[in-house]
Structure 1
Amino acid sequence: MKFILKSVFCLFLVTGNAQKDFISAVIIPDSNLAVFPDSAYQYAQNIKTENLKEIIEYLASDSCEGRELGSAGIDRAAHFISAHFAKNNIEKHGEANTYFQKVGFKWIYWDKLHFKINGVPYKQFWDYLVIPAINDNLEWNTNELAFVGYGIDHKNYNDYKNIDVKNKAVLFFKGEPKNKEGNYILNGTKTPSEWSSDLDMKVEAARKHGAKLVLVIEDKFKEYVDAHRSEVVSPDVILDTSETMQIHGINQIVLSTTTASMLMGGSFKKILKAKDKINRSGKPNAFLIKAKIDILQKKSVRAVKGQNVIAFIEGSDRKDEIISLTAHYDHIGMRGKEAFNGADDNASGTSAVMEIAATLQKLKSEGKGPSRSVLCMLVTGEEKGLLGSLYYVNNPLFPLSETKAEINVDMIGRIDPKYGTDENYIYVIGSDRINPLLHELNVNVNQSYSQLKLDHTFNSELDPNRFYYRSDHYNFAEKGIPSIFFFSGVHEDYHRVTDDAFKINYNKTTKIARHIFLLTWALANGSRI
């Protein structure tokens, strides 16, 4: 056992090339091997269940109002976290002698939205849907538009072949044409091409041909609205940087079939006949339509301030080298008078990082601190698109070139349906994607101390959940930093008002927090990284 530990702690982590296939196995430790009760194991016992519980209960209380970006509740949460760091005598390494890194955001939503056909106004959600994140401000009118079939520009089939759409609105169906045998015309098989699923390709084709506006006919309009309603109701949020807010495309409006028929004077038959003709002949059938369209799309922008909360435990002899440890502390806020308290997502991960920071500082004050520095950062804006961590990696307080590894913690407080009542597991994502040695280190630390089932199911590129791309480690990985993400799975209360503190499995949370401490300790004290 000692030999294993010695070799593990001497791992040399360097950035490697991405692999085509990634581990997806469940690694079960050998329970016949005893836990190694060395000083690192004893240090991990400083992480107490009662302390984690106290943190989670506060962050997931109604007083934090669901911790949504821009709310008073998330500010309370940020100051609670910083007070915890101050109480534990952690030095201030944030901006202006604080624990904070200020992050600016812009909330973008529709201020004015009008759409008329032949002078008759139509309603957002009822007749059409236009999403602010993929549309620019636009005030425009026209008396003519072009029907371009399926909106495809492909070497085997081109809806734009015999029509000029420059500065016009183009109207097309989703999907792609089939011949009378039921094969798709583009590839001659019964399997649709990417033109069926990727609307962006059609929008880009329209832009390339000089179109001013895209109008998409949606046969299942109600289902489409239900799927995309939140993209309109919840404001689009971006980082408040000097980057332009210009959409690099053209505006697009999704129409119900009834609304599309109004472009033909209330009759949809002409367009349906044109669609049928394409399918029968296998050839495009584009034409111009006389109809008056008036459009006004104007966005409103509100500036919002937030903060990442920073605890930096400076190392001893290798203090310039950094191990990063992150968890997001924001959640999705209020809906009416109900708070989405986000106990598991992600008060649980936040509590682990806070207590690991406190433990590292305690050890440092006793002269037993880590060799490398450890950055413990609670990031904001994860629920809006990993924005707090994105801001940090683009504006790092400590050099990314010296950041040797990243550990991310997101939702570690519940048991998912796969494991039922078995709390002795954790999902591990990303550990072998940049450098497999990080994966090996995690496996060895687990065998020596934690003895959890390490489930890598969600690490597979084939996994449809795509969790690797959905939490804050991803922004570090994009910078080439070896990254590992700990997660205990989704459950019935995910992103619901029922994700409450009393449902947290605190014993499980403690086990995982201690394991993450031990991995952090191994990374911070290994001979080389």
Structure 2
Amino acid sequence: MNKKFLTFGLASLVSASCFSQITPLKPNQDAIRFSKAINPENAYKHLSVLASDEYEGRETGTKGAWMAADYISNYFKSLGLKAPVNGSYFQKIDLVNVTLKESHLTVNGQPKEYQKDYLVSPTLISDKGFTFSTNDIVFIGYGIKKDTYNDFAGTDIKGKVVMMFNGGDPTLKPGTKIDRAAYRATMEARAKYFAENNVKAIILIDPVVDRITESTKQALKNGRVMVKTNAALEAQKQNETPRVSISVALANELFKASNTTVADLQKKIVDSQTPASQVLNVPFSASAAKTETPVRCENVLGYLEGSDPVLKKEVLILTGHYDHIGLQTDPNAKDKVNNGADDDGSGTTGVLLMAKAFTDAKKAGKGSKRSILFMTVVGEEKGLWGSEWYSEHPVFPVENTIADLNTDMIGRTGEEYLGKPDSANYIYSVGSNMLSSDLGKLSEQVNATYTKMKLDYKYDDPKDPEQIYYRSDHYNFAKLGIPIIFYYDGMLQQDYHKPGDEVSKINFPLLSKRAKLTYFTAWELANRPKRPVVDMDGKGNPKK
């Protein structure tokens, strides 16, 4: 599961289901019959391969991820699933590795050294590269405007090169917890102000440049991957102003003419709570260009066509992300592989188990009425890349997609359930009521009928500090108005994004039971006369 998240409001829901109060469905014997394919033995067969050291942590854009994609596509083919992307199981994603082609920086006509005096992020360079020069740098402190403090007051930045500290807020006392929403609003306001004033370039004073390590230098040389989603391209377009990070030492050289230093300015601003914005008359020039190299990257899709002449046009999507975070960067690490057995080898395994159950049913003449798309996505750990790509380039029409059931971490017991009676019989059910009250009710009924697990709705709480609802691939479907359920075990501390997330720690009976809950819910969705109605606003509130 991805570490990054956004903050929004959600409607509060009950913390856990009580299936004794729910009218169960009539058990479907065919559904029960074919669910036998979803068992611990089959789960182990898949996960012991996907989360093995050989797959090197399945980092997006690396050999391990390609091996996983090949394994999944071959399995889909063996089941007889259709290859829905122009005859392929792969939905290729426009991923590139971005490296710095060249860069130059001078102060007073004297060249400075890359990675010693300055850094340039190649992913922030426009396709055309950049070049700029000036004799007047406008120093704007922290670049903040809030309450009674304003770094821009009395300062003309129109068409200028500006310089500021990279991060920090002089108005906050040390140790103050950052309000993420307020911080984001401040950054957005700054970007808008820069755009309105057609700022020529931005120089960031960043202590990281002074203490850059050899491993970081190598990482910069190797480049950085980025996916060219529409959203990413638009963000890049809106952020084409040249940016250069400089060392504190180089900044002090620029401040020398003003008879001050970075440390003196920071202390003065904090102590007085007054900006120290000023113009530095120093000749400064910089230029840079980048190189983009395509990288293999794909979602893996297997399609099971529905049996009903009318309903087969509608599609249910079952997702799990097959990527993880790859190898340890510490050369002294004893265990170098972040295996990602739970995150999200377990969810990927769940998708494969369900694919087997549904294809077995179809071969026996009991195929689902609606079509089902089994999709393991890539790049979740990088920022939900694969699901975002699919949301922008859907293989099947969005309006025909009835729901997404997403399994991301279903193989272990999370911290809150360790040692408790429900430790082997619960799942966090996230988002089931956000867009569709039908889907929320159906989920409860399915559980009461077949699996009788504790459905914990903790992460639907608007005050959830982790904002889990926004942190996995289902969210890119929810943004399109497609009802979703996200199944999650709640493991956020023990072995999360660490080498300890190993196959040996997976509870395979629990993984299988959680996958069965998803499967039985999918069975109902794929066979009911009507699709779930979208009657909620995406935040758990009834539509007005």
Scaled by the length of structure 2, what TM-score is found? 0.80
How far residue 339 of structure 1 moved from its aligned partner, in angstroms, is: 3.0
Counterpart AA for 2:224? P
Q: Is the 8 A contact 2:229 2:388 kept in 1?
A: no
Counterpart-to-counterpart distance in 2, 1:278 and 1:358: 64
**1:359 is the counterpart of 2:357:** yes
**Structure 1 range deviating more: 78-87 or 231-240:** 231-240
Counterpart-to-counterpart distance in 2, 1:413 and 1:85: 22
Q: Is the 8 A contact 1:175 1:196 kept in 2?
A: no
Pick aligned residue for 1:84 from 75, 78, 81: 75
| Equivalent position of 1:506 in the other structure | 508
- Taking every aligned residue pair, what percent have the same amino acid on both sides? 33
**Structure 1 range deviating more: 27-36 or 44-53:** 27-36
| Equivalent position of 2:537 in the other structure | none
How far residue 431 of structure 1 moved from its aligned partner, in angstroms, is: 1.2
Provide the secondary structure at the position in 1 that maps to 2:306: coil
| Equivalent position of 1:140 in the other structure | 132
Q: 1:328-383 CA deviation, whole Å, 9 max, x = no partner?
A: 11222334683322211211111111110111111111111212111111112222
| Equivalent position of 2:160 in the other structure | 168
Q: Is the 8 A contact 1:349 1:410 kept in 2?
A: yes
Counterpart-to-counterpart distance in 1, 2:246 and 2:287: 16
Provide the secondary structure at the position in 2 that maps to 1:319: helix
Counterpart-to-counterpart distance in 2, 1:268 and 1:25: 61
Provide the secondary structure at the position in 1 that maps to 2:132: strand
Counterpart AA for 1:88? L
Q: Residues 266, 465 of structure 1: CA spacing in aligned structure 2 closer, same or farther, 3 A cutoff? A: farther
**1:526 is the counterpart of 2:525:** no
Pick aligned residue for 1:383 from 381, 384, 402: 381
Q: Residues 47, 378 of structure 1: CA spacing in aligned structure 2 closer, same or farther, 3 A cutoff? A: same
Higher strand share: 1
**1:63 is the counterpart of 2:54:** yes
**Structure 1 range deviating more: 49-58 or 248-257:** 248-257
Q: Residues 42, 268 of structure 1: CA spacing in aligned structure 2 closer, same or farther, 3 A cutoff? A: farther
Q: Is the 8 A contact 2:159 2:198 kept in 1?
A: yes
**Structure 1 range deviating more: 166-175 or 295-304:** 166-175
Q: 1:404-426 CA deviation, whole Å, 9 max, x = no partner?
A: 11111111111121111412111
How far residue 501 of structure 1 moved from its aligned partner, in angstroms, is: 1.4
Q: Which runs of 5+ in 1 are unaligned?
A: 1-17, 183-189
Counterpart-to-counterpart distance in 2, 1:66 and 1:55: 15
Q: 1:105-134 CA deviation, whole Å, 9 max, x = no partner?
A: 12224344555544363564x766654444
Provide the secondary structure at the position in 1 that maps to 2:135: strand
Pick aligned residue for 1:101 from 80, 91, 102: 91
Q: Is the 8 A contact 1:132 1:236 kept in 2?
A: no
Provide the secondary structure at the position in 2 that maps to 1:413: coil
Provide the secondary structure at the position in 2 that maps to 1:405: strand
Counterpart-to-counterpart distance in 1, 2:55 and 2:362: 32
Pick aligned residue for 2:40 from 34, 42, 49: 49
How far residue 515 of structure 1 moved from its aligned partner, in angstroms, is: 0.7
Q: Which runs of 5+ in 2 are unaligned?
A: 1-7, 532-544
The correspondence of residues 67-466 of structure 1 with structure 2, limited to 5 A, is 67-90=58-81, 92-118=82-108, 119=110, 121=112, 124=115, 130-136=120-126, 137-153=129-145, 158-173=150-165, 174-175=167-168, 194=182, 198-217=186-205, 235-239=224-228, 246-249=236-239, 250-254=241-245, 257-265=248-256, 269=260, 285-317=276-308, 318-335=311-328, 338-421=336-419, 422-466=423-467
Counterpart AA for 1:87? S
Q: Residues 176, 28 of structure 1: CA spacing in aligned structure 2 closer, same or farther, 3 A cutoff? A: same
Q: Is the 8 A contact 1:450 1:515 kept in 2?
A: yes
Counterpart-to-counterpart distance in 1, 2:356 and 2:301: 12
Q: Is the 8 A contact 1:108 1:302 kept in 2?
A: yes
Counterpart AA for 1:458? Y
Q: Give the aligned CA root-mean-square deviation in angstroms.
A: 3.8
Counterpart-to-counterpart distance in 1, 2:470 and 2:180: 26
Counterpart AA for 1:507? P
Provide the secondary structure at the position in 1 that maps to 2:386: helix
Q: Residues 94, 211 of structure 1: CA spacing in aligned structure 2 closer, same or farther, 3 A cutoff? A: same
Provide the secondary structure at the position in 2 that maps to 1:110: strand
Q: 1:157-199 CA deviation, whole Å, 9 max, x = no partner?
A: 54434333233322335555659xx9xxxxxxx9999369843
Q: 1:75-128 CA deviation, whole Å, 9 max, x = no partner?
A: 2222221222222233x232342323232312224344555544363564x766
Counterpart AA for 1:354? L
Pick aligned residue for 2:17 from 27, 47, 72: 27
Q: Is the 8 A contact 2:338 2:500 kept in 1?
A: yes
Q: Residues 196, 301 of structure 1: CA spacing in aligned structure 2 closer, same or farther, 3 A cutoff? A: closer
Counterpart AA for 2:193? A
Counterpart AA for 1:215? I
Provide the secondary structure at the position in 2 that maps to 1:418: helix
| Equivalent position of 2:535 in the other structure | none
Provide the secondary structure at the position in 2 that maps to 1:264: helix
Counterpart AA for 1:510? S
Counterpart AA for 2:461? S
Q: Is the 8 A contact 1:310 1:376 kept in 2?
A: yes
| Equivalent position of 1:14 in the other structure | none
How far residue 154 of structure 1 moved from its aligned partner, in angstroms, is: 6.2
Q: Is the 8 A contact 1:216 1:254 kept in 2?
A: yes
| Equivalent position of 2:499 in the other structure | 497
Q: Is the 8 A contact 1:449 1:515 kept in 2?
A: yes
Q: Is the 8 A contact 2:205 2:246 kept in 1?
A: yes
Q: Is the 8 A contact 1:427 1:487 kept in 2?
A: yes
Provide the secondary structure at the position in 2 that maps to 1:454: strand
Counterpart-to-counterpart distance in 1, 2:153 and 2:501: 54
How far residue 511 of structure 1 moved from its aligned partner, in angstroms, is: 0.8
Provide the secondary structure at the position in 2 that maps to 1:237: strand
Q: Is the 8 A contact 1:24 1:458 kept in 2?
A: no
Provide the secondary structure at the position in 2 that maps to 1:97: coil
Q: Is the 8 A contact 1:172 1:216 kept in 2?
A: yes
Q: 1:469-520 CA deviation, whole Å, 9 max, x = no partner?
A: 2211111111110111111132432222232212211111111011110110
Counterpart-to-counterpart distance in 1, 2:180 and 2:341: 42
Q: Residues 229, 206 of structure 1: CA spacing in aligned structure 2 closer, same or farther, 3 A cutoff? A: farther
Q: What count of residue pairs does the alignment treat as equivalent?
A: 500
Counterpart-to-counterpart distance in 2, 1:273 and 1:60: 52
Counterpart-to-counterpart distance in 1, 2:516 and 2:277: 64
**Structure 1 range deviating more: 436-445 or 255-264:** 255-264
